[in-house]
Amino acid sequence: MTLPVQVSVFGKTDLGQTRDHNEDTFLVADLTTGNASLHPEVRRHQVGPRGSLFMVADGMGGAAAGELASAMAADLIYHHLATAWAADDDASADRFAFRMKEAVELANEKIYGYAREHPEVRGMGTTVTAAGVNGDDLYLAQIGDSRAYLVRRGEAIQLTKDQSLMQRLVDAGELTEEEAEQSERRNIILQALGPDPRVKVDLTRQTLRRGDTLIICSDGLSGLVRREELPAVVARHPELSDLCAALIDLANSRGGPDNITVVAAHFDGEGLPEPSASEGVGYMVYHVPGSETEESPALPPAVAAPAPAETPVATPAVAALSGGRTRTLLIMAAVLGLIVALLLVWL
């Protein structure tokens, strides 16, 4: 008999201090019962044979386009898992991970197609961080720079990796994490759902342990509240609705220049062992057997050495406005190389 895994979950979104509309969306769902809500039966439930889904999406596009993109992403990803995965004869963990990746890819196709048919929202897009729980495994499907953290044994670990220019420079050894966090260019992302016909989903896995707390958030939170601060806030607020409110209040107290969204989930139950200090926790890429295809485009490669500075020219990159802040989706490797070169000269 499979021992139970219990999850408590809550989500909250906030306009922030400067925006006039909210382009963020979140979703929490029990995929076994097909219930996506914050009703009591979802806020605390036993993880069933079809698992659970938690998601944060941060839209961009100006006017109502960002709101539409993030709402579409949440609805499309959930709908695919609630139908295709729920009816799948293969209920294995690998199949669950495959369906999550597939759901994000299909959502991108739908959003891209909708934008092409509706010129008034052309160029709209959204980040997405989708967390799927299957037994004692947590799978994360990532596009963009919304984040997932795991708080375990008094330490917070980032489980996702930003698909951003700054992250590429950190990976290349050109910047430290501290320098990247302070850069005015930290919001330049390499990928989002919607602007391009295809995306490369970053799929990772983490084994859950008793007492773990998962925090998924948009950059309205992660840009103002440091990872090292999360364990103390989690410890002070065992009630998850209070925890979400406290994190949002903290970001707002520091200016709240963006929409702020957070989903918090706490895991318990006899189906989870106690955590061990020897276990590895962090960003762990997961390859679904047989799912790799040539169609999935690679992200633009990092540039290891600076090229000669050039005068910026018009490029086919897509510029998406999010409440007055420009996020540039760098679609071509040549465009990324140019920006990296200019940035390194500037630094």
222-241 pLDDT, tens per residue? 999 999 999 999 999 999 99
Which residues, at least 6 apart from 107, have a Cβ–Cβ distance to it below 8 Å?
72, 73, 76, 77, 80, 128, 193
307 domain residue, yes or no: no
185 domain residue, yes or no: yes
**Closest C-alpha among 246, 257, 275 to residue 323:** 257
27 domain residue, yes or no: yes
Res. 220: pLDDT tops 70: yes
241 domain residue, yes or no: yes
pLDDT at 307: 30
pLDDT at 321: 30
Compute the distance between CA of residue 23 and CA of residue 194 in angstroms, rounded to an integer. Answer: 14
pLDDT at 339: 54
- Three-state DSSP at 270 gives coil
Q: Which residue has the higher pLDDT, 185 or 51?
A: 51
257-269 pLDDT, tens per residue? 999 999 999 999 9
Compute the distance between CA of residue 302 and CA of residue 245 in angstroms, rounded to an integer. Answer: 37
CATH number where 177 lies: 3.60.40.10
| Domain residue limits at 118 | 6-302
24 domain residue, yes or no: yes
Identify residue 131 by its one-letter amino acid code. A
Q: For residue 267, which phi and psi values (nearest 5 degrees)?
A: -115, 140
Res. 154: pLDDT tops 80: yes
Distances (CA, A) of 321 to 61, 125, 326: 5, 10, 5
Q: Which of 131-140, 188-197, 301-310 has the lowest mean pLDDT?
A: 301-310
Res. 247: pLDDT tops 60: yes
**Closest C-alpha among 133, 123, 140, 99 to residue 284:** 140
Residue 184: pLDDT band (50, 70, 90) is: low
Res. 319: pLDDT tops 50: no
Percent of the chain with pLDDT over 90: 71
Res. 54: pLDDT tops 70: yes
Q: What is the torsion angle, in degrees rounded to the nearest 10, for the CA atoms of residue 63, residue 69, residue 71 and residue 74?
A: -160
Mean pLDDT of 201-221: 97
Q: Which of 17-26, 113-122, 165-174 has the lowest mean pLDDT?
A: 165-174
Residue 141: pLDDT band (50, 70, 90) is: very high
78 domain residue, yes or no: yes
pLDDT at 43: 98
- What's the total number of domains in the chain? 1
CB 151 within 8 A of CB 215: yes
- Three-state DSSP at 333 gives helix
Residue 327: pLDDT band (50, 70, 90) is: very low
Can you give the pTM of this predicted structure?
A: 0.85
Tokens for 94? 């690998």
Residue 125: pLDDT band (50, 70, 90) is: very high
Res. 334: pLDDT tops 90: no
Res. 303: pLDDT tops 80: no
Mean pLDDT of 188-211: 95
344 domain residue, yes or no: no
pLDDT at 205: 97
Tokens for 256? 């709240």
Across the chain, what does the average pLDDT equal?
85
Q: Which residue has the higher pLDDT, 131 or 172?
A: 131
338 domain residue, yes or no: no
